[in-house]
Chain A
């Protein structure tokens, strides 16, 4: 297993277009997280999955954002009608079902909305 994998690494899209990102967590990790990191800031929590259930969503996750984790394996994050303010690095992380265990992060998908 090579860690958390995210695709694509970079995405440039025009304002108003829809985009979808994919995250493949470490196979034995049942917890999966999405974070967003804007330039010069630390990552901010977006959403959390335990297996296939989405158990927590941040207020940062507007109606234009939707995340899924079918079958509790990979996850997708879709942004509809992208806006320039959506430009950021989207980070996925996973962890085992152990309390307060550190996350393993992927390399992220950098989104640029022009």
Chain B
């Protein structure tokens, strides 16, 4: 069963618009971690945020904010006042403990195009 679903394949916005990337996850564990990564055209996955399953407080970092709702198994990511440099593929990931390591399950990604 797919553990992380990113239903939006591609989103296009004009610079300065706000945009929200959706992420829905599935797990039977009570303890787990959620992540967002950014993948620019260079290919490297850049860590953005980590959130544990016991902390449902929303987080804001500059123009980025994250909304974690356990009741709906969602961990959405909002970029405020988008910029061209935000153009990339964004991945949501779920980390589960498997034996003694953390196995990541990634969604299929959302490609964000920010046009000037």
Contact = CB atoms under 8 A, between A and B. Distances in A.
A101 B93 CA distance: 13
Q: Tell me which of B45, B93, B99, B109 has the highest count of chain A C-beta atoms within 10 A of its own C-beta.
A: B45
Give the interface SS of chain A, mostly helix, strand, loop or mixed.
Answer: strand
Nearest to B50: A102
Nearest to A40: B108
A48 B99 CA distance: 11
Contact of A100 (B33, B42, B46, B106): B33
A106 B44 contact: yes
A110 interface: yes
Contacts of A48: 101, 103
B95 A100 contact: yes
B40 to A, nearest CB: 10
B4 A42 contact: yes
A55 B109 CA distance: 28
A74 interface: no
B62 interface: no
A100 B52 contact: yes
A28 interface: no
B13 to A, nearest CB: 20
A25 interface: no
A89 B46 CA distance: 16
Nearest to B96: A100
Contact of A99 (B91, B102, B106, B108): B102
A44 B44 CA distance: 15
Given A100-B52, A102-B35, 13 more contacts: A43-B91, A48-B103, A55-B99, A55-B101, A99-B102, A100-B50, A101-B102, A103-B47, A103-B104, A105-B44, A107-B44, A108-B44, A110-B43
Interface of A: 31, 33, 35, 40-45, 48, 50, 55-56, 89, 91, 93, 95, 99-108, 110
